[in-house]
Amino acid sequence: MYKKRLVQFKPLIVLAVATLAWLMLPVVFKAIAKTSFYEFQAPVSITSSYVRDLQDFWAARTKSKNELYEAGQSLARLNASYELTALQNQTLEEEISRLESLLQLPSRPDFQYEIARVVERDFNAWWQRITIRKGNDYGIPVGAPVVFVGGVVGRVREVYAYTSVVDIISNNHLRLAVVIEGDNRPLSYRGGGSASFAKPLGIAEFVPVDIQISDTQDLPTLITSGMGGVYPAGLRVGEIRRLRQGAGGMFYDGEVELDPRLASLTEVAVMIQIPPEQ
């Protein structure tokens, strides 16, 4: 009778022994095992990403000549607009450099933009993490800011040989130094997570009580402040939709609606800081 009961609990005993053995292993061994396992399965994700790119290529080949002609016209207009914007940016950069030299201000950090394709998203936390198709092979550093045309995407969390893992700004553990556009008072932003089938959200903390939301068409926009040395100033984060009383009663907490395009990103840009010339 005793042996029969022991056989019934054998799977639980084996699980308990395996868990205890894993907990007793050195941290270095665990880190090596985790990295090795990730590197082993990474080629599968990368290959599927290249296959999707190939599918998109052949899908484009099936379009008619009229569709390609219209796409070419639209692309030409976009290129002309981008060329004008590039000239304006160059003029502004020259003016900023002139003012920095005139006022003897320290120069701002320069960044190199490394464009990377999105390989996959973490389906267990859809809004929380993405994997991009560049890693140590392109010099991607841990902690580098990641952006797209709509503003901040997140920050590089882990870097492997050919891929990198990026935490999205809705991640509960991600914090940013932000300000409201047009207002230089510092605020704090943290990810608010995302429920299933819901939009990604963030939380703005220490919002001054004189900030009010009266017009839903003209919502306060959060941008990065440049404090902390990770993100340059002026990158868009999101819009404050609602305000509620903070825990201390002296400030508001704001519900921040993030860009819905974060759910369908195909390419992002990793900002790699260029060391200043000695």
Q: Is residue 35 situated within a structural domain?
A: yes
Question: Does residue 56 carry a pLDDT above 90?
Answer: no
Q: How many CB atoms lie within 10 A of CB 235?
A: 20
pLDDT tens per residue across span 105-129? 776 777 889 999 999 887 565 568 8
Radius of gyration of the chain, Cα coordinates, nearest whole angstrom: 24
H/E/C letters for each residue in the chain?
Answer: CHHHHHHHCHHHHHHHHHHHHHHHCCHHHHHHHHHHHHHHHHHHHHHHHHHHHHHHHHHHHCCCHHHHHHHHHHHHHHHHHHHHHHHHHHHHHHHHHHHHHHHCCCCCCEEEEEEEEEEEECHHHCCCEEEECCCHHHCCCCCCEEEECCEEEEEEEEECCCCEEEEECCCCCCEEEEEECCCCCCEEEEECCCCCCCCCEEEEEEECCCCCCCCCCCCCEEEECCCCCCCCCCCEEEEEEEEEECCCCCCEEEEEECCHHHHHCCEEEEEEEECCCC
Between CA 220 and CA 114 the distance in angstroms is 30
Q: Is residue 207 situated within a structural domain?
A: yes
Mean pLDDT, residues 46-51 taken together: 76
CA 158 to chain centre: 12
CA 249 to chain centre: 31
pTM for the whole structure: 0.74
Q: Is the dihedral of CA 241, 231, 136, 173 positive or negative?
A: negative
- Identify the residue whose tokens are 């009580």: 209
Q: Is residue 187 situated within a structural domain?
A: yes
Give CA separation, 175 vs 7, 148, 171, 228, in Å: 50, 18, 9, 10
Last residue of a domain, one of 61, 91, 108: 61
Between CA 16 and CA 220 the distance in angstroms is 52
What is the pLDDT at residue 209?
87
What is the pLDDT at residue 8?
65
CA 185 to chain centre: 24
Mean pLDDT, residues 240-268 taken together: 88
Q: Is residue 239 situated within a structural domain?
A: yes
Q: How many CA atoms lie within 13 A of 155 on its CB side?
A: 19
User: Which residue range forms the structural domain that includes residue 41?
Assistant: 2-61
pLDDT tens per residue across span 71-109? 888 889 888 888 888 888 889 888 888 888 888 877 677
Last residue of a domain, one of 61, 77, 94: 61
User: In total, how many domains does the chain have?
Assistant: 2
What is the pLDDT at residue 197?
59
Q: How many CA atoms lie within 13 A of 105 on its CB side?
A: 10
Between CA 227 and CA 231 the distance in angstroms is 8
Q: Is residue 236 situated within a structural domain?
A: yes
Question: Does residue 278 carry a pLDDT above 50?
Answer: no
What is the pLDDT at residue 217?
74
Q: Is residue 93 situated within a structural domain?
A: no
The CATH number linked to 224 is 2.40.10.350
Between CA 139 and CA 274 the distance in angstroms is 12
Q: Is residue 36 situated within a structural domain?
A: yes
Q: Is residue 209 situated within a structural domain?
A: yes
Tokens of 266: 């195909």
